[in-house]
Chains A and B, each alone.
Chain A
Amino acid sequence: MKNLIKIFLIAIGFVAIQSCDDDLAQLPNDSVSPDSFYKTTLDFEAAIRGVYSGFLRSTYYGGSFLSRPDIMTANVILAPAGRRSNQSFYEWRHTPNAAWNLMGSGYIITNRANLILEYISNVNDVQFSNNIIGEAKTARALALFDLLRIYSKIPTQSLKANESLGMPIIVEIDPTIQKLRPTVKESYDFIISELEEAKNLINEDNGTGRFNKNTVNALLSRVYLYNGDYQLSVEAANSVSSTVATRSNFPQVWVDGSEDGVIMKIDQDRILDGIGIGTQWSQSVDGNVIPEYVMGFDLYNQYLDTDIRRTSYTQVLPDSDGNIYNAVKKMFGEAGQNNGVVDVKIIRASEVYLNKAEAYAMLGQDGPALTALDAVRSNRYNNFSSGNETGTQLFEAIKLERRLELFAEGHRLFDLKRWNEGVTRSLINGDFFDGTGSAVSAEYSSLPAGSYIYQFPIPQAEINVFPEFQQNPGYNNN
């Protein structure tokens, strides 16, 4: 009897520990298997928003892409009182081991778009899928275009730029894929054909924060300009319906109080997303700044008193030691905020007009070029009267206006690059608001036109895993 009880107890023990291999198959509660996704229109809506969120990564439009192209030029000057972020780029000391890695973000966006394009046939609604295809293709093309701006030459930059190294076109879904770099021409051809295709698929209106037909045309005006297809650039610009932001609306654009003239921006919620893109330039509290980079004194002086941009783009603020700066105000925050959180502007109507002006000028059509230029200038200066420039003067005026208008939006370095111009920084003027303070040291004051530095190095980590992948000329491996 006693033994029976014991055996019974042990039997209970064994029953209690009944457990099977099934218990070893645990699934996450905060994610799903990709195989079970990409089925419904809601899935694709979420997936395409995932593509847009990719642009907000910190190496891309969520940070570096808006700052480094200006930091590397004379547009801004480093304020030693700050944290010296991005100093190696400011001083053109980037190397393969300390490179700007945009490849990660660029190809992650490409992968997100590719997954959508692969599975969109699961949806029967043709209009819905065409629109999604258009968006995905535009995103993929923009990512490739931005990779090219950083790592490759621009077709108009030099004679044989088109035959130099472009960036791989990835349309496959394969995490282990390895592809060598095609030519710049092949890369640009792909971007143009994709955007042209997207133009015919995408909706006229997708609401703010998403690509639409207008956006694609606007981007095409830029890509064609970079590619030297000036007539096509003009045509694409002419297809854009947006107008330049008015002078009165203009300051509101930068605190997200107005969308006037903004063709494409990626909306972020100040509180929920909170990506402080403005902290690339400074942090601030109680009317003080901790500046990283402030507007260069020479550039500051190019903004006339009548130019609405001087007060929209800069503000005079002291740091905690009482030193005063022309701090960057663009991206300072929404009205009343100082956290640097604002929507990311991808392309604005004024750029399209300036693209058009430059394209016309390149085609030798000074009249329409001046009209396009004045469409911008008349909305920036108080009591504007046209300079009626022609020829070289007109071309210089377009370049100046482009520099003044697109300050701190990730353009300056690429514009210098495609014009094949160098960077010259003042050896005299410092970081303080009146041009005093610390000036740049002589070794970092001049970057010659055509320098290899304009093509950023491929990160060494990419070469390590794929040794055949071509490094840009000028960078010693190791």
Chain B
Amino acid sequence: MKTKSIGILTLFMALVVQITFAQERTFSGTVSDKDGPLPGVSVLIRGTTIGTETDFDGKFSIKAKTGDLLEFSYVGYEKIEKVLEDSSNVINVTLEEGIGLDEIVVVAFGKKRKEQLTSAVSVISSAELAKMTPSLSIDNMLQGKATGVQVVGGNGKPGQTAFVRIRGIGSVNASSAPLYIIDGLVAPDLTNINPQDIESMSVLKDAATASKYGSRAANGVIVIKTKTGQKNKKAVVTISTRYGTGRKIKDNFKMMNAAQKIQYERELAALGVSNAAALPGPLITSDKEYNALVAKDTDWFDELLKKSKIQSTAVSIAGGSKEIAYFLSLGHDTNTGIIQDLNGFKRSNIRMNIDYEAKDWLNISTNFSFTSSKSDEPRDRNNVQNPFRAMYDYNPYQTKYMLDSYGNAILDENGNPEFNLTRNGFSISEAIINNPQVVYTRTLIGGLSATANITNGFSNTFKIGGSNTDLRDEYFVKPGSVLDGYVGDANNPGSKKDDGSSELDYTITNLLEYNRVFNEKHDVTLTGLFEFNERILRSYSLSSIGFSNPNLLVQAVATIPVVASTNLFTRTLLSYGGFFDYSYDSKYIATASVRKDGSSVFGQNNRYGVFWSASAAWNINKEDWFKTTFFNDLKLRASAGTSGNSNGLGSYGSLATLDFGSLNGQSTAIPSDNGNPNLGFEKNFIWDIGIEFSTFNRRVRGVVDYYQRTTSDLLLNAPLSSLGGEPDGSIFSNIGEMVNKGLEIELTGDIIKTNDMLLTLGASISFVDNKVTKLVSSPSNEDGEDIIVGNNIISVGEEIYTFYLPKWAGVNTANGQALFYDTDNNVTTIFDTNAQQILSGKSPLADFDGGINLYFRYKKFDLSTDFYYKVGNYIINYMENDMLSDGQNADANQRVDAFNYWKNPGDTNVLPNPIYGNESNQTTDRFLQKGDYIRLRNLTVGFNVPLKSGQKINSIRLYLQGQNLWTYAPHFNGDPEVGIGSGETDNSVGFGNYNLYSYPQIQSLSLGVDIKF
């Protein structure tokens, strides 16, 4: 290592000495468009990183030499190039509006003009971001915005992140989530960035750009650049504030009211359903009793839920002096969520971005952000502690509080109303108050970067930065609470758990770049990369029992400490890389990259992975012969390359280990794993061909991509015979393989485009097809044994996580008995859990999804609508299974259509006769439903308040916005946007395979105002 760097240094010295300098002078001028001076236009000396931006009056000045080429570019405008001549120091240019291939795109380790891109990158520009739905987490906003990027909202909990998958599922046991890069730094996720701070986002989908991130890029990369100020520009203050309210999206079915439920119970008891016999309905003996129960008619949705309050305020200030550009911001968000007595989510953040031109050859930039959040956590599990299960389960003839014979709440000794434990033996309202769980998060992301322009062509960037995430999770079961009675220790009532972690993830990067244009046509860039990354995670878990006072929740007051544990995990990643970028007159563009990564996670025999990429693009419209044809822009591109994956794996899986624990208070030593010294990276190979075009004066624009992505060396557990006593029963090894193929189409058209009016319609569609091609082979199955994951299966030749369930054969019309298929597809009345079949083609993965976006602007008014649609995925509707339980859950409330059971011979389209409920209420494909849906994600109406020029305020924009206002789901009963099925239930499939009472999705309406001055 040492000798290597000395070698590089020597090379430098040799180069530096040979180069002499041309005379520099200052050029200045004004950049304008048809309406006048244009601030913020990027002015760059071609082939260098030296540049500036126009100030508030559209003015710029820059030091350059005669013969240099100045590039003027601005989002939404055609780029202009001017050659500097001896004759004049003043350069005035006028930019023409147009949306083409000239945008500046943030890519791996830098920026590129879109024209120069050779790969599939979806860009969400600041202009688009400005039109988008503000949300707590930016990933939720991405839905339907970028082709090939599937975004599934986790659930409706405030502050919840989404599941983001770029070009399909990439792993089984490692992570399938993309890599997030914010201002060049790896970020843990997107919860901790204020969406208002984002200037642009790029989704790197194929190898040509993503491979530069090597072993972390297998699942694609999302690169985010936050806002910066502009040099020589007066400060602009922006205040954005929004106030709104949200509620649970209404179900497309109805629950029974008190009279209906009592009738249902009576019907079931009359049929002889044993578990209905002791229910209140059949036990009613008088009209008085009946009337008293019916009169209660509790709407549990009203009792347990509330309308959420959403508030968001952000203040930012951006500007710059001659040498410094800055962006400072402050944000505060609250969202109470929809559960009564919980405060929901609160987040505050600060950001400081500064660029400093320390010397004419040295540029320093720093980005720092700090985020603090607090979240009240409801239980998200499938039991009595979950309010979203309770609101469906609780019977309408029961009440929240115990009532006396006059219907007044009975008070306890403290004068508080006594909670009704309901038929579940539990009161969720009591639990929400007496079993609080709160999660606190603090994240600091920051870095310092220095770029030195060593000589003409050579520059070096040194960067150090990282993130520190502190997490604290407090869970208090108050003494005397109902839950404590179930799970607590009778001698030491009450319990408190404090879990937490602190994770430092830092990276040191050095990039040495050489750029030169030969013969005015050949633009060559060579880059050398060195990177070192270390992640240190410290965690603690502390629990005590024995609390005498329900209001004191620090463990200092507890009688017995139960758990005291800390842990420490470290992992490192070491990388070297070389990148090559070539452009011939912006007509023919080619790139190549190679990167070698070594990871501490893997075995000593297989620690390093080498990842490469190559790509080429052809801007056909730049050819002389092309000028006359139909297209304004036309580009063909192709790329191929590899990347790796180690995210989400344990830190020490390759090692043989022996663990320590305790038994009856004394130390135990237990062999825990035999390890695998050959453990290595999962590998991803992706090739992509794409075409980008524009026509009708660039009013119609489109991108089409086709890709094939092969993930090999998937880490799977190769099971061993139990005889050897391997502690976890298997060896974790690089074995599996799967292929994702896809087609992505994006089309946008400016249907009306005049000075006063703009109507833009956009639509996108992304197809993805997944197929498992190799699994752990066994003597009896060479291709690989199926991996059964609950009700799903990973099987060679099938889509990953295809459903694997016993099949339902309907209801016997003669007697109402449930019918099933056995393994040989014969109809039988006997349910067999072992009669599962692979339901080919039915998996939680969609066949295609996409967005339809409409934007309309007329003078000062604007309107934007975003639809998202998804087709072809399947979901087990467990909630429906509970609510149409054939009498099995007769003690809980049921859906109104539960009445529609078999009554007479010949009845069709009915539920089974409840008398056979015990056999019929099983997990089969009966409740496996197609999850197709289209949803109006966002509807915004905005108005820019007319201001007289010369006023202190630059702009005021008012808007009204609705989210999730309309949904159409033809096959699914309930909300079809299923991400997390049940937060506290292990789900190896990941997401979207079943619904099970997680936090419901929210419909909201808000009013906002943005002021700039």
Chain A: residues with CB nearer than 8 A to chain B?
2-3, 6-7, 9-11, 13-21, 23-35, 37, 43, 45-47, 49-50, 52-54, 56, 80-81, 88, 95, 97-98, 101, 103-104, 106-112, 114-115, 168, 170, 174-179, 209, 266-273, 283-286, 288, 290, 320-323, 336-339, 438, 461-462, 464-467, 469
Which residues in chain B, 489-538, are within 8 Å of chain A measured between CB atoms?
A: 489-491, 508, 510, 512, 530, 532, 534
- Residue among B13, B660, B666, B723 making CB contact with A107, cutoff 8 Å: B723
Contact mask for chain B residues 554-596; partner A; CB cutoff 8 A; 1 contact, 0 none: 0000001010000111111010000000000000000000000
Contact indicator A34/B278 (Cβ below 8 Å) = no
Contact indicator A285/B570 (Cβ below 8 Å) = no
Q: In the assembly, what is the distance between CA of A465 and CA of B785, in Å? A: 9
Contact mask for chain B residues 57-85; partner A; CB cutoff 8 A; 1 contact, 0 none: 00000000000000000000000000000
Contact indicator A23/B721 (Cβ below 8 Å) = no
Q: Is B252 engaged at the interface, CB distance under 8 Å to the other chain?
A: no
Closest 10 CB pairs of A and B: A111-B725, A320-B425, A46-B669, A103-B722, A31-B657, A175-B724, A26-B600, A13-B462, A50-B668, A285-B486
Q: In the assembly, what is the distance between CA of A52 and CA of B671, in Å? A: 13
Taking CB atoms, residues of chain B closer than 8 Å to A30 are 567-568, 659-660
B504 to chain A, nearest CB (A): 14
Q: Is B452 engaged at the interface, CB distance under 8 Å to the other chain?
A: yes
A100 to chain B, nearest CB (A): 13
Q: In the assembly, what is the distance between CA of A29 and CA of B657, in Å? A: 11
B834 to chain A, nearest CB (A): 5
Q: Contacts A33-B656, A37-B658, A438-B274 known; A170 to B723 CB distance under 8 Å?
A: yes
Contact indicator B723/A14 (Cβ below 8 Å) = no
User: Which residue of chain A lies nearest to B1 when distances are taken between CB atoms in the complex?
Assistant: A20
Contact indicator A320/B721 (Cβ below 8 Å) = no
Q: In the assembly, what is the distance between CA of A174 and CA of B725, in Å? A: 8
12 chain-A/chain-B pairs, Cβ below 8 angstroms = A24-B599, A26-B600, A28-B569, A31-B658, A50-B663, A81-B275, A177-B721, A288-B425, A320-B425, A321-B278, A339-B489, A464-B781
Q: Is B25 engaged at the interface, CB distance under 8 Å to the other chain?
A: no
Taking CB atoms, residues of chain A closer than 8 Å to B657 are 28, 31-34
Contact indicator A108/B9 (Cβ below 8 Å) = no
User: Which residue of chain B lies nearest to A167 when distances are taken between CB atoms in the complex?
Assistant: B723
Q: Is B661 engaged at the interface, CB distance under 8 Å to the other chain?
A: yes
B202 to chain A, nearest CB (A): 26
Contact indicator A268/B725 (Cβ below 8 Å) = no
- Residue among A15, A53, A175, A268 making CB contact with B726, cutoff 8 Å: A175
Q: Is B2 engaged at the interface, CB distance under 8 Å to the other chain?
A: yes
Size category, B interface? 35 or more
Taking CB atoms, residues of chain B closer than 8 Å to A467 are 778-780
Contact indicator A53/B663 (Cβ below 8 Å) = yes
Q: Is B667 engaged at the interface, CB distance under 8 Å to the other chain?
A: yes
Contact indicator A14/B16 (Cβ below 8 Å) = no
Contact indicator A19/B532 (Cβ below 8 Å) = yes
Contact indicator B725/A7 (Cβ below 8 Å) = no
- Residue among A20, A27, A209, A466 making CB contact with B652, cutoff 8 Å: A27
Q: Contacts A14-B5, A98-B833, A467-B779 known; A33 to B723 CB distance under 8 Å?
A: no
Taking CB atoms, residues of chain A closer than 8 Å to B482 are 285
Having A10-B12, A25-B604, A438-B274, one finds 5 other A-B pairs with CB under 8 Å, namely: A29-B569, A53-B670, A112-B671, A175-B724, A464-B780
Contact indicator A24/B600 (Cβ below 8 Å) = yes
Contact indicator B659/A3 (Cβ below 8 Å) = no
User: Which residue of chain B lies nearest to A459 when distances are taken between CB atoms in the complex?
Assistant: B722
Contact mask for chain B residues 879-921; partner A; CB cutoff 8 A; 1 contact, 0 none: 0000000000001000000000000000000000000000000
B598 to chain A, nearest CB (A): 5
Taking CB atoms, residues of chain B closer than 8 Å to A18 are 1-2, 5
- Residue among B454, B490, B665, B669 making CB contact with A37, cutoff 8 Å: B669
User: Which residue of chain A lies nearest to B672 when distances are taken between CB atoms in the complex?
Assistant: A31
Taking CB atoms, residues of chain B closer than 8 Å to A268 are 663-664
User: Which residue of chain A lies nearest to B833 when distances are taken between CB atoms in the complex?
Assistant: A98
Contact indicator B721/A469 (Cβ below 8 Å) = yes
Contact indicator A285/B274 (Cβ below 8 Å) = no
B780 to chain A, nearest CB (A): 5
Q: In the assembly, what is the distance between CA of A114 and CA of B278, in Å? A: 56
Which residues in chain B, 440-480, are within 8 Å of chain A measured between CB atoms?
A: 450, 452, 454-455, 460, 462, 464
Taking CB atoms, residues of chain A closer than 8 Å to B667 are 45-46, 49
Contact indicator A464/B652 (Cβ below 8 Å) = no
Contact indicator A47/B669 (Cβ below 8 Å) = yes
Q: In the assembly, what is the distance between CA of A45 and CA of B778, in Å? A: 39
Q: In the assembly, what is the distance between CA of A107 and CA of B2, in Å? A: 50
Contact indicator B16/A3 (Cβ below 8 Å) = yes
Contact indicator A108/B834 (Cβ below 8 Å) = no
Taking CB atoms, residues of chain B closer than 8 Å to A469 are 721
B920 to chain A, nearest CB (A): 15
Contact indicator A50/B724 (Cβ below 8 Å) = no
- Residue among A28, A106, A112, A170 making CB contact with B670, cutoff 8 Å: A112
Contact indicator B720/A176 (Cβ below 8 Å) = yes
Taking CB atoms, residues of chain A closer than 8 Å to B778 are 464-465, 467
A98 to chain B, nearest CB (A): 6
User: Which residue of chain A lies nearest to B464 when distances are taken between CB atoms in the complex?
Assistant: A16
A39 to chain B, nearest CB (A): 11
Q: Is B8 engaged at the interface, CB distance under 8 Å to the other chain?
A: yes
Which residues in chain B, 707-721, are within 8 Å of chain A measured between CB atoms?
A: 719-721
User: Which residue of chain B lies nearest to A267 when distances are taken between CB atoms in the complex?
Assistant: B664
Q: Contacts A17-B530, A28-B655, A52-B663 known; A179 to B723 CB distance under 8 Å?
A: yes
Taking CB atoms, residues of chain A closer than 8 Å to B534 are 23
- Residue among B421, B454, B599, B660 making CB contact with A10, cutoff 8 Å: B454
User: Which residue of chain B lies nearest to A88 when distances are taken between CB atoms in the complex?
Assistant: B833
Q: Is B423 engaged at the interface, CB distance under 8 Å to the other chain?
A: yes
Q: Is B752 engaged at the interface, CB distance under 8 Å to the other chain?
A: no
Contact indicator A10/B455 (Cβ below 8 Å) = no
Q: In the assembly, what is the distance between CA of A101 and CA of B455, in Å? A: 70
B786 to chain A, nearest CB (A): 10
Taking CB atoms, residues of chain B closer than 8 Å to A111 are 671, 724-727
Taking CB atoms, residues of chain A closer than 8 Å to B372 are none
Contact indicator A80/B275 (Cβ below 8 Å) = yes
User: Which residue of chain A lies nearest to B730 when distances are taken between CB atoms in the complex?
Assistant: A465
- Residue among B12, B275, B569, B719 making CB contact with A461, cutoff 8 Å: B719
Q: In the assembly, what is the distance between CA of A268 and CA of B666, in Å? A: 10
Contact indicator B510/A26 (Cβ below 8 Å) = no
Contact indicator B278/A322 (Cβ below 8 Å) = yes
Q: In the assembly, what is the distance between CA of A285 and CA of B574, in Å? A: 55
Contact indicator B9/A7 (Cβ below 8 Å) = yes
B681 to chain A, nearest CB (A): 13
B862 to chain A, nearest CB (A): 48
Contact indicator A464/B785 (Cβ below 8 Å) = yes
Taking CB atoms, residues of chain A closer than 8 Å to B668 are 46-47, 49-50, 52-53
Q: In the assembly, what is the distance between CA of A3 and CA of B13, in Å? A: 9
Q: Is B751 engaged at the interface, CB distance under 8 Å to the other chain?
A: no
B434 to chain A, nearest CB (A): 14
Q: In the assembly, what is the distance between CA of A3 and CA of B20, in Å? A: 11
Q: Is B32 engaged at the interface, CB distance under 8 Å to the other chain?
A: no
Taking CB atoms, residues of chain A closer than 8 Å to B607 are 24
Q: Contacts A49-B666, A322-B278 known; A170 to B423 CB distance under 8 Å?
A: no
Q: Is B487 engaged at the interface, CB distance under 8 Å to the other chain?
A: yes
Contact indicator A177/B724 (Cβ below 8 Å) = yes
Taking CB atoms, residues of chain A closer than 8 Å to B833 are 88, 98
Contact indicator A177/B664 (Cβ below 8 Å) = no
Q: In the assembly, what is the distance between CA of A3 and CA of B454, in Å? A: 7
Taking CB atoms, residues of chain A closer than 8 Å to B8 are 14
User: Which residue of chain A lies nearest to B462 when distances are taken between CB atoms in the complex?
Assistant: A13
Q: Is B929 engaged at the interface, CB distance under 8 Å to the other chain?
A: no
Taking CB atoms, residues of chain A closer than 8 Å to B660 are 30-31, 46
Taking CB atoms, residues of chain A closer than 8 Å to B23 are none
Q: Contacts A26-B571, A29-B569, A271-B560 known; A10 to B600 CB distance under 8 Å?
A: no
User: Which residue of chain B lies nearest to A169 when distances are taken between CB atoms in the complex?
Assistant: B723
Contact mask for chain B residues 244-259; partner A; CB cutoff 8 A; 1 contact, 0 none: 0000000000000000
Q: Is B662 engaged at the interface, CB distance under 8 Å to the other chain?
A: yes
